[in-house]
Amino acid sequence: MRSAQWESILGERALFFWAGCIAISIGVLLHLPMLAMAHEMGNHLAGMPMDTGMWFGMALIVIGALLACYGALPKKRAPHGDHAGTSFEAPDSTPLNRWHAATLAVLTLGLVIDVMKPATLGFVLPGMASEYGIDRTQVALLPLVALTGTTIGSFLWGWLADIYGRRVSILLSTILFVSTAVCGAMPEFAWNLVMCFLMGISAGGMLPVIYTLLAEVMPPRHRSWVLVLVGGTGLVGGYLAASGAAYVLEPIYGWRALWLQGFPSGLLLLALARFIPETPRFLAERNRVGELADMQRKFGLVLKPRPALPPADTPSRADHRRITVALTIAALCWSFVNFGLLLWLPSDLQARGFSAEIASGILAKSSLLAFPTILLAAFFYAKRSSKWTLVGTVCLTMMGLLGALLPAELLSWEPLLVAVIAVLIVGTNGTIAVLLPYTAENYPLGTRGRATGLVAGSSKFGGVAVQVAALAGFAPTLVGASLSLLLPTAVSAGMIAWAGRETQGRSLRELEAD
């Protein structure tokens, strides 16, 4: 790649970025010989000392990460250009072209990577516990540190995206993700915890930033359905990637191979960096006129004067605070339902007298009924109402919680139990499919990344709390969890209905001026 092309992707320090990527790649590859040797011994690495190649590889990864960060971050804040304070947006009639399609494909890959790592946790835990000879309490530390990392990553990368740009944030999180693929080569459990925490931070940054960027480059007419559909596809794709890799790789190469898949997938995302655009108004604010003109040509953007924003003491500022509280509560409720109630549901069903096989069958039937949720959510969000689609999915979750409080003798009838669980799954799937797109549409450019990161981080916090409870020996029941979550879920639905605003069919420029 020529120097000019490198600079069009990352800027003046692009050479340092790519040198860092090469150093990281070599560092990861230097871990493979020891893994290959362990493969001849049943993929068992526990207790083995790290050889010289692995130590040298670790040093290269650290040096490469520092070089990549230095290369990706801008030298200094550029003076405001002539277009500072203006908006660039495609006309409503703009069709999706090949550049939109390429961006959608690459960012969907980023979402798959984001979802894939947390989804992999369940597949690595049994093999890890067996190899290290540790009990369930100790091995539960791995999902705890991983989910803590994803929560922190959502806040961190959303903040960085507002300061240094969306594309830089995505690429830096990808670099960290590639670096931590060596988690699969760590011979000590403690090193696995460190690497898994860093991996969680890197993966957690994809979700909020990708939603933010998509909201800013898609034509208004297509923005709503694209956000929901890409988010849903990334969610499904991540779980399919994790389960598919476990099915293909784990029987032959063991649980460690599931962490190593972050290396090729992350490199693929970096190789496609030229298809990840930057927010047009961010380029205007930084006086990067060449890149801005290129984006206008590729994405059909036109310059529009930025409407005057209301003074700081007007009610619209308070409205942002109210909608922030409402969306954060909704995200927290979702996280506790998803990572708490649904996670412990198989154990609860078996405690009710259902066999493990029947319990799995009940969940499978419920999931099958909920399969079209994402398509329906995308349709209603884009064609009817964004605000009321979100309120409706939260209310569906609330109905599922109410159903779980029915008397035990009624819930012993399998069709009714399947219906209750299906409503819960439909509600939670629908809520997470529209929650972050709606968040990204509701905030101005300067705080959009942080606000989306806050809500994304809140949607993962329940996983952290549930893991802490598990370490303390607490497992929630269907009735107990439903009873405790019912009121805050109802409050979040009411607050969104009260403080939320309609974004369907409205441009981001118009929403910022509202």
* DSSP states along 322-385: HHHHHHHHHHHHHHHIIIIITTSHHHHHHHTT--HHHHHHHHHHHHHHTTTHHHHHHHHHHHT-
User: Is 190 found in the same domain as 252?
Assistant: yes
Is the distance from CB of 418 to CB of 366 less than 8 angstroms?
Answer: yes
Nearest residue to 201 via CA among 148, 242, 277: 148
* DSSP states along 48-114: PPP-HHHHHHHHHHHHHHHHHHHHHS-SSPPPP-TTTTEEEE--TTPPP-HHHHHHHHHHHHHHHHH
User: Is 389 found in the same domain as 290?
Assistant: no
Tell me whether residue 170 is in a domain.
yes
- Return the pLDDT at 362: 56
Tell me whether residue 161 is in a domain.
yes
Number of H helices, E strands in the chain: 25, 2
* Residue pLDDT, tens place only, 372-394: 777 777 778 777 888 888 898 88
- Return the pLDDT at 81: 45
Tell me whether residue 184 is in a domain.
yes
What per-residue string of b and e applies to 169-201 under the rule 16 or more CB within 10 Å gives b? Answer: bbbbbbbbbbbbbbbbbbbebeebbebbbbbbb
- Return the pLDDT at 307: 53
User: Is 301 found in the same domain as 329?
Assistant: no
- Tokens 């670099």 label which residue? 175
- Return the pLDDT at 385: 85
- Return the pLDDT at 67: 87
- Return the pLDDT at 75: 62
- Return the pLDDT at 79: 47
Give the domain range for residue 442.
320-506
**pLDDT, tens digit only, all 514 positions of the chain:** 444 444 444 556 778 888 888 898 888 888 877 777 766 666 666 667 777 878 888 898 889 888 888 877 766 554 444 444 556 777 767 778 888 888 888 888 888 877 777 777 767 777 777 777 877 677 778 878 888 888 888 878 878 887 877 888 888 888 888 888 887 777 788 888 888 888 888 877 777 788 888 877 888 777 777 887 787 777 777 777 777 777 777 777 777 777 887 788 888 888 888 888 887 777 777 777 777 788 888 887 777 665 554 444 444 444 578 888 889 988 888 888 777 666 555 555 656 666 555 555 555 555 555 567 777 777 787 778 888 888 988 898 888 888 878 777 776 776 777 777 777 777 887 888 788 888 888 887 777 878 888 888 888 887 787 777 777 766 566 677 777 888 888 898 888 888 888 887 776 666 666 6
Tell me whether residue 2 is in a domain.
no
User: Is 162 found in the same domain as 284?
Assistant: yes
Cα 503 to Cα 392, 452, 500, 507, distances in angstroms = 15, 15, 9, 8
- Return the pLDDT at 365: 56
* DSSP states along 235-301: HHHHHHHHHHHHHHHHHHH-THHHHHTHHHHHHHHHHTGGG----HHHHHHTT-HHHHHHHHHHHT-
User: Is 354 found in the same domain as 279?
Assistant: no
End of a domain among 305, 336, 371?
A: 305
User: Is 174 found in the same domain as 114?
Assistant: yes
- Return the pLDDT at 123: 75
- Tokens 């809140």 label which residue? 458
User: Is 352 found in the same domain as 474?
Assistant: yes
User: Is 435 found in the same domain as 338?
Assistant: yes
User: Is 218 found in the same domain as 113?
Assistant: yes
Query: CA 306 to CA 444: how far, in whole Å?
Result: 12
Nearest residue to 397 via CA among 324, 341, 439: 341
Tell me whether residue 56 is in a domain.
no
Tell me whether residue 149 is in a domain.
yes
- Return the pLDDT at 319: 56
Tell me whether residue 362 is in a domain.
yes
What is the number of structural domains in the chain?
2
Q: Is 303 helix (H, G, I), strand (E, B) or coil?
A: strand
- Return the pLDDT at 202: 80
User: Is 328 found in the same domain as 436?
Assistant: yes
- Return the pLDDT at 513: 64
| CA atoms within 13 A of residue 310's CA, in its CB half-sphere | 15
User: Is 404 found in the same domain as 427?
Assistant: yes
End of a domain among 270, 305, 340?
A: 305
Tell me whether residue 67 is in a domain.
no
User: Is 247 found in the same domain as 111?
Assistant: yes
End of a domain among 305, 331, 365?
A: 305
Query: CA 284 to CA 89: how far, in whole Å?
Result: 12
Query: CA 386 to CA 384: how far, in whole Å?
Result: 7
Is the distance from CB of 44 to CB of 71 less than 8 angstroms?
Answer: no
Query: CA 401 to CA 393: how far, in whole Å?
Result: 13
- CATH number for the domain spanning 481: value is 1.20.1250.20
* Residue pLDDT, tens place only, 309-325: 444 444 444 457 888 88
Nearest residue to 364 via CA among 411, 422, 441: 422
Query: CA 164 to CA 72: how far, in whole Å?
Result: 9
